[in-house]
Chain A
Amino acid sequence: EAGVAQSPRYKIIEKRQSVAFWCNPISGHATLYWYQQILGQGPKLLIQFQNNGVVDDSQLPKDRFSAERLKGVDSTLKIQPAKLEDSAVYLCASSLGPDLSYEQYFGPGTRLTVT
């Protein structure tokens, strides 16, 4: 079974530029999560999708971050414009369903450096 795929793996941009990350979850997984992990911290949930609908985006900085999962499969996360404090690893995870009894499987992450 293929795991969660993410691209790119690394990205370096200057502040105020835009960037987009892509995630393809495990086939058949209805729930998709985007996390931000700053160095030395645990992952922080940015947004959770159930199929193509948003379940929770309470910690998404909506003035600069946006995410979509139009067809309920793959997803993109965008930052526009980027700030220095956005430097982090952006992790995508997926699970069969939203209940916590379903294990969340994480992708390899995208390491973003904002200079």
Chain B
Amino acid sequence: QKEVEQNSGPLSVPEGAIASLNCTYSDRGSQSFFWYRQYSGKSPELIMFIYSNGDKEDGRFTAQLNKASQYVSLLIRDSQPSDSATYLCAVPPPRGATNKLIFGTGTLLAVQP
């Protein structure tokens, strides 16, 4: 099992809809979770991080963490064409001594106008 798994997509949603992006991880001990956005041909940029079970909201973005089920989700409300990008989930490695991130393969989101 991969440490971080994401559906590669593409996930296609109409403008104004809610986009739901999911990520599962293998290590029950993982404590922190990060969502990055990467536009085509550009570098990743951090959009959300979450440490605690439950929801964390930031504008149109909500991160949801369920440690018991080992998944973390990113919801984008009122999706806009400018949200079209690849969304990367990242978690620290299992039992790692260093503070580094393991990235998933990313989910490509396409918001249709």
Tell yes or no: A60 within 8 A of B by CB. Answer: no
Tell yes or no: B103 within 8 A of A by CB. Answer: yes
Tell yes or no: B69 within 8 A of A by CB. Answer: no
Q: Name the interface residues of B14-51: CB closer than 8 Å to any CB of A.
A: 32, 34, 42-46
In angstroms, Cα B42 to Cα A107, docked, is 9
Main secondary structure of the interface of A (DSSP, over half): loop
Smallest CB separation, B72 vs chain A (Å): 15
- Interface residue tally on B, bucketed by range: 20 to 34
How many inter-chain residue pairs (CB < 8 Å) link A and B? 43
Contact A100 B101 (CB under 8 A): yes
Tell yes or no: A72 within 8 A of B by CB. Answer: no
- Minimal Cβ-Cβ distance residue in B for A106: B43
Contact B103 A43 (CB under 8 A): yes
Which of B4, B8, B106 has most chain A Cβ within 10 Å? Answer: B106
Q: Name the interface residues of A38-75: CB closer than 8 Å to any CB of B.
A: 40-45, 48, 55-56
Contact A48 B98 (CB under 8 A): yes
Q: Which residues of B contact A48 (CB under 8 A)?
A: 98, 100
Tell yes or no: B105 within 8 A of A by CB. Answer: yes
How many A residues have CB within 8 A of the partner chain? Answer: 20
Contact A100 B43 (CB under 8 A): no
In angstroms, Cα B98 to Cα A44, docked, is 15
The 7 A-B pairs with the shortest beta carbon distances in the complex, nearest first, are A42-B103, A106-B43, A56-B98, A100-B99, A98-B99, A43-B103, A42-B88
List residues of chain B with CB under 8 Å of any chain A CB. 4, 8, 32, 34, 42-46, 88, 90, 92, 98-101, 103-106
Other than the known A42-B104, A109-B43, what 7 A-B pairs have Cβ atoms closer than 8 Å? A42-B106, A43-B103, A56-B98, A98-B99, A100-B101, A106-B43, A107-B43
